[in-house]
Amino acid sequence: MANTIRASVIQSCTARFNLSETLDKFESLTRLAKERDGTQLVVFPEGFIGGYPKWSTFSCFVGERISEGRDEFVKYYNAAIEIPSPAIDRIAEVSKATGVFVVMGVIERDVGTLYCTAIFVDPVEGLVAKHRKLLPTACERFIWGQGDGSTLPVVAKKFQSSVEPTHTVHTKISATICWENFMPLLRTYYYSLGTQIYCVPTVDSRETWESSMRHIAFEGRCFVLSACQFATEKDYPPDHAVADANNRNPDNIMINGGSLIVSPLGKVLAGPTRQPEDILTADLDLDDVVRGKFDLDTVGHYSRPDVFQLKANIDPTLI
């Protein structure tokens, strides 16, 4: 059990697309997870900074966009952050102050295009990596661009054992955002780099999500930490789109949570939770990864490279 660390997933939501309030929320939740639960790593949901404009259509129709949609995009564009930027600095400061490693979904602005990004912030080194979502889903395709192969990091991180303080635990951490989890070649790539703590910032709160998280944990022999937003109408600006414009109610659920933590053998360690704001914490015994690889190593003894080969292009693309 010496190879154990403690980790948390945070179920919460963006504060009305307000950057400063959302950063405050981040800080208080991270401090709570640290002080109350002794966590060493937290995963925040997709688009936690910048927000997830659920139910919006940005006034897009096949073949037409109208000016209301463009104005809405200007607001969303301005709510996004650049990397690096003062917001990133703030996150790094909290990470440093608490000693907690942070994986978080943010909306990233780069020249004219927004990206749905996950950042990795280390208490000592600050921002160490980012991952841009490779494929936005459906309507997301007109607000976010596509990441390329150059931001697919698996981050090596040493933690102090949560069980034996003198013992150092070596881990590898990745992030896969929302429906990227349905891209088997991407998952295989992460497995091949040895991911052990497979973080999933998401906004998919379907009932089927738990099945996929359990499958991936089992298939990849890794811990899966899925953090979903839980948001109600009051968590959005008052004029934001909702499911039923005729029945607006501040307490109507917009995104239904379902955050959970799964072990490398597919066992649910915590959650799924449907609480509006919740911190799920679990002890991750990294030796469970080895126990799982014993009979299933999708990228080692359980692959057939003579029949199937995966080629990855991780060069950054030029213009």
Which C-beta is closer to a copy of itself: that of 6 or that of 133?
133
Which string of b and e fits 160-187 if b means at least 16 CB within 10 Å?
ebbeeeeeebebbbbbbbbbbbeeeebb
Which C-beta is closer to a copy of itself: that of 247 or that of 309?
309
User: Minimum Å distance from CB 242 to a copy of itself?
Assistant: 10
Which C-beta is closer to a copy of itself: that of 39 or that of 108?
108
Q: In the sheet where 168-175 sits, what is the strand order? A: 155-160, 168-175, 197-202, 223-228, 259-262, 268-273
Cα separation, 45 vs 170, whole angstroms: 24
Q: In the sheet where 41-43 sits, what is the strand order? A: 126-132, 113-122, 101-110, 41-43, 4-11, 278-285
Instruction: From residue 295, give the alpha-carbon distance in Å to each of 122, 234, 243.
Output: 33, 48, 46
User: Minimum Å distance from CB 202 to a copy of itself?
Assistant: 11
Count other C-beta atoms under 10 Å from residue 301's C-beta: 10
Cα separation, 151 vs 92, whole angstroms: 19
User: Minimum Å distance from CB 109 to a copy of itself?
Assistant: 9
User: Minimum Å distance from CB 37 to a copy of itself?
Assistant: 26
The catalytic residues are 46, 133, 178
Which C-beta is closer to a copy of itself: that of 60 or that of 127?
60
Q: What does the DSSP 8-state code read for residue 240?
A: S
User: Minimum Å distance from CB 120 to a copy of itself?
Assistant: 19
Helix H or strand E segment including 18: none
Cβ 92 vs Cβ 127: under 8 Å: yes
Which C-beta is closer to a copy of itself: that of 45 or that of 95?
45
